[in-house]
Structure 1
Amino acid sequence: MVRFRLGLVINPLAGLGGSVGLKGSDGVAEHALALGAKPKAAERMMQALKVIQDYAADIEIITASGVMGEDVAKALGFQTKVVYHTPVQTAAQDTKAVVQTLLQTPLDLLLFAGGDGTARDVYSVFSEACIDDKRPVLGVPAGVKIHSGVYGITPNAAGMVVKMLLDGELVSLMSADVMDIDEAAFRQGTVRAKRFGELWVPAEPRFVQAVKMGGKEVDELVLADIAAQVIDQMEDELYIMGSGSTVAFVMAELGLDNTLLGVDVIQHKRLIAKDLTAAQLLELSEQTPTKLVITLIGGQGHLLGRGNQQLSPALIRRIGKDNIIILATKTKLKALEGRPLIVDSGDPQLDRELCGYYKVITGYRDYVMYQVANPDLQADL
């Protein structure tokens, strides 16, 4: 007898713009595909569902046909009920329509794969339906930008939360903010985040991410010290400069133009390419030793997988763990309250390999040893 009814929604367009440097997918899906972007949302949902694959006999998945859920569910052997016919070309309206249909069915959990735009679509349906009960939802991160607090920290972590529910563990519910930004402004280097509402999610702090902290660091003296240390240790290699305000400060100290929300490359302290795609980064780094300079997202602790999907698993493997240079102010690290840094590269095996302690540059000749340790991977051991 089925004891757990899992509503499932995949936004197949989520995250398309990330690897090709478009900073999002809203309104640019066709352009992203033309640039060579590959859909990843189904793969991300599959990673989450594999965690609970052994429970397949106890779960019924209620979903949409084809790429919006059915294909993944059936591929993993789950009992699947299709309640919505997916068109050839999907749009945000289809996500809303699937959720509207699912809400007419008793569910134990609504699991969806997407980004902040998808979370907004889910929230809008709940809001329009005037649903005031604590019906739980959980997001599998598949978008370029994940500001909302309704997502697992990784696809595997989202699966771990569902597993806890299946195991009958005491999992409370908490309200979490649904956030989104203006992608047009985002592509121009401006972050305009807005809170749209809240959804109820399983309250498991190890596996469910915090809302992203916004704003630049205000302590310019600390950032100047960090930049000085990075610049002093630069050699002849290529340096891939990740997104974020801390890395941007290094570029400013070098007097170089910077793509705040993109990925640039410098060599010999000169800018040689800017706002590159995943494919361009692979090509550029093929013949030359390369290092990666990145910082964490404040409040969340993510190093990879949030706004920097240009840093593909293939690129990270080529660069190597020892050539990743992490920058952060101690204020940002303290704000994590002891939580580890997180990597969500899209390749769970690579994420496991990247776990460990790193020397984080926190000032001039000032370092902190800090752990990268995805909680979902630790719980898997």
Structure 2
Amino acid sequence: MARLVCFVVNPLAGIGGPLALRGSDGSAGLEALRRGARLVSPERARVFAEECKRLRLGERIVFLTASGVMGETPLSKAGFASYHVVYHPDSWPTNPHDTMETVRACIARGAEIVVFVGGDGTARDVVSALHEVGAANTPILGVPSGVKVYSSVFAENPRAAAHVLAEWLDHGTTCEGEVVDIDEDAFRANMLRARLYTIARTPCSPLMVGASKQPTPSTEEEEENKRAIARYLAENMEECTLYILGPGTTVKAIADELGVEKTLLGVDVVHNRRLVAADVDEKTLYNIVARHLEGGGRVKIVVTPIGGQGYIFGRGNQQISPRILRLVGRDNIIVVATKSKLSKLKRLRVDTGDEKVDEMLRGYIRVVTDYGEETVVRVE
């Protein structure tokens, strides 16, 4: 007998990333729609469903889902026919109420696990709905699609999520996962405030992210390590080269060394040690890069991995899009990380949403860890 799996897509998840909106919850998602942003999560849901089809999960499960882009459309586009619509949203755009109602309808019909496509906000809505209906122990599996994916209930990427689901169907093993609550208003104001929202059951698999985002401890040794990295990068910056500075405190230390003001959680552009663009969105950044390259200049991207997870692209820096990465090229990416941060990472990760670009980025890469010191780390 086929097993019942809840499948719910937050259509607005991730829509604000390329626009530098720091998130998609509430007014930010509406603003992104108004500005003509492309929906991200239905496409990532389709990729997940395609992999489920390739794994022949349709012979083992029935997805209980919502109509339209909340589940039915991506499943249909993927050719995954084993699903049943249990909820119809009343209006567009959808909202957290629709996510929670879908989960409630799924549980009422006997769903054993909830697979959701979204970010931390969507994870919070899913577990809230489960608690409300007395199903707090129902496992959840996140298909990453948010601007912020800091919780540990997510698979590494959409295709990995399909494999995690298959493993769970075989073995049913679950672990505790953290659902992190991010203050989006503070986040958009360039401050990261995160707290543990709850603990949820999630499938055990090496294909899960494995940990929530871990803040780097602000010890004097850590800060000196950042300053040493910054001095090394600043001293070796090339003239007439455009430097794209990604988010994070380690990269901000480089900007501090240059004497330019850095957007802590945004993407900024430096040329000849001067700030030429701050907190750029994807379109602005692409145009700056394309013009500079057309004029014969060089471009480099400086990023630091997310603590505890290891992502260098596809998490929190969606402004640096696949088309920008293709223009700049792998050889012009500079990864920086303190020794403490890197010691807690087994590998680096990418999940840009473009499988060809992800493949281009995989392999071994040098990571600057101190003044004049580098470590070679694998990108997966």
TM-score bracket for the superposition, by shorter chain length: over 0.9
In the aligned structure 2, how far is the partner of 1:126 from the partner of 1:61? 17
Question: In the alignment, which of 296, 309, 314 is matched to residue 318 of structure 2?
Answer: 309
2:21 maps to what in 1?
22
Displacement after TM superposition at 1:171 (Å)? 5.1
Q: Provide the rounded CA distance (Å) in 2 between the counterparts of 1:298 and 1:340.
A: 11
Aligned partner of residue 51 in structure 1, secondary structure: helix
Query: Of 63, 68, 78, which aligns to 1:61?
Result: 63
Deviation at 1:3, TM superposition (A): 2.5
> TM-score normalized by structure 2?
0.93
Would you say 1:51 and 2:51 are equivalent positions? yes
Question: 2:118 pairs with 108, 114, 119, which one?
Answer: 114
- Show the counterpart of 1:243: 247
Deviation at 1:215, TM superposition (A): 4.5
Q: Deviations over 1:177-205 (max 9, x none)?
A: 11111111111111111111121110113
Q: Map of 1:22-171 to 2, 5 A cutoff? A: 22-27=21-26, 28-54=28-54, 55=56, 56-77=58-79, 78-89=81-92, 90-132=94-136, 134-166=137-169, 168=170, 170=171
1:98-123 CA-partner distances (Å, limit 9, x unpaired): 11111112224211001111011011
Q: What is the TM-score with the length of structure 1 in the denominator?
A: 0.93
Amino acid paired to 1:295: T
Q: Give me the whole-angstrom Cα distance separating, in 2, the residues matched to 1:316 and 1:146.
A: 21
1:357 to 347, 364, 369: 364
Contact 1:9–1:111 (Cα < 8 Å) also in 2: yes
After superposition, residues 209-358 of structure 1 pair within 5 angstroms as: 209-215=210-216, 217-218=218-219, 219-235=222-238, 236-288=240-292, 289-336=298-345, 339-358=346-365
Cα deviation 1:251-271 (Å, max 9, x = unaligned): 111111110000000000100
- Residues 358 and 372 of structure 1 are in contact (CA less than 8 Å); yes or no, is this contact kept in structure 2? yes
RMSD, aligned CA: 1.4
SS in 1 for 2:207: coil
Gaps of 5+ in 2: 293-297
Worse-matched range after superposition: 42-51 or 270-279: 42-51
Q: CA–CA distance in 2 between the matches of 1:335 and 1:324? A: 22
Amino acid at match of 1:63: T
Instruction: Give the CA deviation at 1:164.
Output: 2.3
Moved over 4 A (4+): none
Q: Which residue of 2 aligns with 1:187?
A: 188
- Measured in 1, the distance between the counterparts of 2:218 and 2:253 equals 10
Bigger mean CA deviation after superposition, 217-226 or 238-247? 217-226
Q: Give the secondary-structure state (helix, strand or coil) at the position aligned to 2:116.
A: strand
Q: Secondary structure at the match of 2:47?
A: helix
Q: Distance in 2 between matches of 1:332 and 1:99?
A: 37
Task: Tell me if the contact between 1:296 and 1:328 (Cα under 8 Å) persists in the aligned partners.
Answer: yes
The residue identity in structure 2 corresponding to 1:159 is A
- Could you tell me whether the CA contact under 8 Å between 1:111 and 1:137 is conserved in 2? yes
CA deviations over 1:334-369 (Å, ceiling 9, x no partner)? 112xx2100010112211221111110011110001
**Which amino acid letter does the alignment assign opposite residue 73 of structure 2?**
D
CA drift of 1:163 comes to 2.7
Q: CA deviation at 1:216?
A: 5.5
CA contact (8 A) 1:113 1:139 kept: yes
Equivalent pair of 1:61/1:73 in contact (CA under 8 Å): no
Which residue of the partner structure matches residue 366 of structure 1? 373
Post-superposition offset of 1:140: 0.5
Q: Deviations over 1:259-287 (max 9, x none)?
A: 00000000001000000001111100002
* 1:66-116 alpha-carbon deviations (Å, 9 max, x no partner): 110001112222222111012331111111111111111222421100111
Gapped regions of structure 1 (runs ≥ 5) = 374-381
Q: Deviations over 1:53-78 (max 9, x none)?
A: 13134331110001100011122222
Residue-pair matches, total: 367
- Cα separation, 2, equivalents of 1:96 and 1:139: 15
Shift of 1:234: 1.0
CA contact (8 A) 2:47 2:78 kept: no
CA separation in 1, counterparts of 2:126 and 2:98?
Answer: 11
Is the 8 Å Cα contact of residues 340 and 370 (structure 1) preserved in structure 2?
Answer: yes
